[in-house]
Amino acid sequence: MESRLKVLRVFKALHKTRMDVFRDDIRALTAARQKITKSLEKTKKKLQKKK
């Protein structure tokens, strides 16, 4: 459970950073969001396999 919370905190922090860095660039915001989400899905699958 603790690792899940850690992943979610990092996920949230990445999105906040994305919003700051790419504030005026809609394309970059969208691309970064997709990349972050894809990365989370990979991490999620790895955690599920370990169970």
Q: Which domain holds residue 42?
A: 2-50
- Quote the CA–CA distance of 24 and 47 in Å, as a whole number: 35
- Quote the CA–CA distance of 20 and 23 in Å, as a whole number: 5
Give the pLDDT mean for 4-31.
93
Residue 8 confidence (pLDDT): 85
Q: Whole-prediction pTM value?
A: 0.74
7-16: pLDDT as tens digits: 889 989 999 9
- Quote the CA–CA distance of 33 and 12 in Å, as a whole number: 11
Q: How confident is the model at residue 36 (pLDDT cuts 50, 70, 90)?
A: very high
- Quote the CA–CA distance of 11 and 41 in Å, as a whole number: 11
Q: In which residue are the tokens 């899905």 written?
A: 41
Structural domain count, the chain: 1
List all residues 6 or more positions away from 3 whose beta carbon is below 8 Å from its beta carbon. 47
- The tokens describing 38, both together, are 């894809």
Q: How confident is the model at residue 51 (pLDDT cuts 50, 70, 90)?
A: low
